[in-house]
Amino acid sequence: MHDPLSSTFAALADPTRRAILARLALGETSVTELAEPFEMSMPAVSKHLKVLERAGLIARGREAQSRPCRLEPGPLKEAASWIEEYRRFWEASLDRLEEYLRKVQAAKTKGSRANRSKSKTKE
């Protein structure tokens, strides 16, 4: 099962690629500049850029030498809103769980009190 978001998530699963995206969030930059902080060879960086480009997360200029990279926010926003939706589902469920546990707890306390008073009357 492959869908656009799967490739987004697969691309984001790598810490180096996330770091590249974080760097690009600060502004457009050349491949050489991108490679510097990562202590990686240019081919290694290029490989990561290809994955990001295929996932539609970045775009690269056509200028012959430098081919500057920039962030494409579309897929990231889609991924973020999906996560947001699911997070809301969980938050709402946990609110209900909290309420439910309170009821269970109250019923238990009541039950044990009743048992205690029962055993007292037996004595």
Partner 1 sequence: MAQSTRQASAGTEFVLHRTFDASREDVWEAFTRPEHLKHWWGTPGTSVEVARHELKPGGIFHYRMKFPDGRAMWARFIFREIVAPERLVWLNGFSDEHGGLTRNPWAPNLPPETLNTVTLVEENGQTRLTVTVVPFHASEEEARVFAGGIAGMKAGFGATFQVLANYLAQRR
- Interface residues with partner 1 (CB under 8 A) are 1, 3-6, 8-10, 12-15, 18-19, 21-22, 25-26, 71, 73, 76-80, 82-83, 85-102, 104-105
Q: How far is the CB of 117 from partner 1 (least distance, A)?
A: 23
Please, which residue, 39 or 63, has the CB nearer to partner 1?
39
Place of tokens 């209900």: 96
- Answer whether 27's CB lies under 8 Å from 42's CB: no
Give the type of residue at 3.
D
C-alpha torsion angle, residues 35, 36, 39, 45 (rounded to 10): 0
Q: How far is the CB of 107 from partner 1 (least distance, A)?
A: 11
- Inter-axis angle of helices 4-12 and 15-24, to 10 degrees? 100
Please, which residue, 6 or 66, has the CB nearer to partner 1?
6
**CB proximity list for 9: less than 8 A, separation 6 or greater:** 79
Q: How far is the CB of 105 from partner 1 (least distance, A)?
A: 6
Q: How far is the CB of 122 from partner 1 (least distance, A)?
A: 28
Please, which residue, 86 or 110, has the CB nearer to partner 1?
86
Please, which residue, 8 or 45, has the CB nearer to partner 1?
8
In sign, the C-alpha dihedral spanning 73, 79, 83, 86 is positive
